[in-house]
Structure 1
Amino acid sequence: MLKPDIEKRIINTGVMAIVRTETVERATEIAEGCLEGGVDVLEISYTLSNAGEVIKALNDRFKNKLLVGAGTVLDGETARLAILAGAKFIIAPNLSKEVAVVCNRYRIPYAPGCATVTEMVQALELGASFVKAFPLSNFYGPSLVPVIKTPLPYMPILASGGVTLDNLGDWIRNGVDSVGVGGLLTKGSKADIATNARKITDIIRDARA
């Protein structure tokens, strides 16, 4: 899959599940619930040592039905390991030049965490596909998006944290490109996850309309 196709799919879906799980079995259950509800983008966090194993297993099982990326990628070594495991995009809570270089080398979208406009512009200069508004989205909520996009309308923003069913529509209407969601898409049974995924995809569709 080419880099522009990955970027487009992330934007079109509008949401990604942020997954931290110790077993492939649970990751598979989460993925099945998300897909049933219309969410086909998953970020597998490298806060756990089995992230590469989970990425590979999900790719092997779901193929192109699922777009699987890596999260919490702090350094170039981890970025390369994640990409070799099959990650289609890289997300981090920080901005790292070495991670940007690795992602550019492999033509993989990179979304670094940025807390200031200066960092966001630097991220684009390094070739980032999106900027992860972190931890800003937790504090400012949906009003953050127009604050950034008024002076920088071309800034591609991924919100991570602070996204709920109640404010998701505001995030989308304010122009966020995609949102990261944890508990709603990773906790409970497969049926619970599928129900929440449907609610989320319905909200995104209605807000974009």
Structure 2
Amino acid sequence: MKKFNYLQQIADAGVVAVLRGDSPEEVVAMSEQAIAGGVKVIEITLTVPFALEAITQLAKRYSSKDVIAANYALIGAGTILDPESARAAMLAGAEFIVAPCLNKATVQLCNRYRVPIMPGVMTIQEVQTALELGVDVMKLFPGNLYEPSIIPTIRGPLPQANLMPTGGVNLNNLKDWIKAGAFAVGIGSDLTKEAVKNKDFSLIAKKANEYRNAFLQAKKDLK
């Protein structure tokens, strides 16, 4: 059941912070600010040097076992290209795995350990293949190649597909993606670029809070 609890936490959070940086210390600081701002699902990409150190540090600090706790967060690993990287990330403390593309061996390994995996897909064929492999949520990537209408288009023939657009999602169009049926959305550079430019990571907390509120309002508007 742990796997499905994690998936439910991602769906409830609605926004996944996709964090990249020049060091583990930098992405840990970014993560702390995102969590403080209300975005409590954190994806640390393995393009970060010594990314596993950051994942371990965050996983120890923020326990997802008690979602009521103020310091709870769900920590995952992104840019996973192969099963070896996925297993290393799990052992470092990652509670979910995100990949830029669909790799059968990686999906099989994650299923073996009952860890949620969200592989990147672009085509109907990839979505169907992912479903056949037992994938619960697919990352629609790069999201900036599509309009939100792509989700109901895909879910016409494949209504069981859960899609998380990543790339190109912003505060202006988040509501459109949620209205279109997105499972959640991934937010990367738009969350951190201003903070990095101004060397003020507190701006990440402010932006994260704006994203969290935008998601809650979008869900409210659906009712």
TM-score by length of 2: 0.89
2:67 matched residue in structure 1: none
Q: Are 2:65 and 1:79 aligned?
A: no
Corresponding position of 1:7: 7
**Structure 2: which amino acid aligns with 1:70?**
A
**Which residue does the alignment assign to 1:19?**
19
Q: Is the 8 A contact 2:23 2:49 kept in 1?
A: no
Q: Confirm or deny that 1:95 pairs with 2:102.
A: yes
- List runs of 5+ in structure 2 lacking aligned partners: 65-71
SS in 1 for 2:148: helix
Quick check: 1:141–1:163 contact (8 Å CA) kept in 2? no
Over the aligned positions, Cα root-mean-square deviation in angstroms equals 1.4
Partner residue of 2:163 out of 157, 167, 170 = 157
Q: Does 1:127 align with 2:138?
A: no
Q: CA deviation at 1:121?
A: 1.1
Cα distance in 1 between the residues matched to 2:49 and 2:86: 13
Listed as ranges, the matches of 1:135-174 within 5 Å are 135=142, 137-174=143-180
Q: CA contact under 8 A between 1:141 and 1:162: conserved in structure 2?
A: no
For 1:44, what is the secondary structure of its paired residue? strand
Correspondent of 2:215 among 191, 198, 204:
204
Matched with 1:39 is: 39
Deviation, 1:184, is 2.9
Unaligned runs of 5+ in 1: none
TM-score by length of 1: 0.94
Q: CA deviation at 1:24?
A: 3.0
Distance 2:49 2:26 in 1: 15
Report how far residue 144 of structure 1 moved. 1.5
| Structure 1 residues 108-165: Cα deviation after superposition (integer angstroms, max 9, x where no partner) | 0011111111111111111112111112x21113122111122222211011111011
Provide the aligned length of Structure 1 versus Structure 2. Answer: 208
Hey, what does 2:62 align to over in structure 1?
62
What residue is the counterpart of 1:180 in the other structure? 186
Residue type at the aligned position of 1:173: K
8 A Cα contact 2:18 2:43, kept in partner:
yes
Moved more, 89-98 or 44-53: 44-53
2:81 partner amino acid:
L
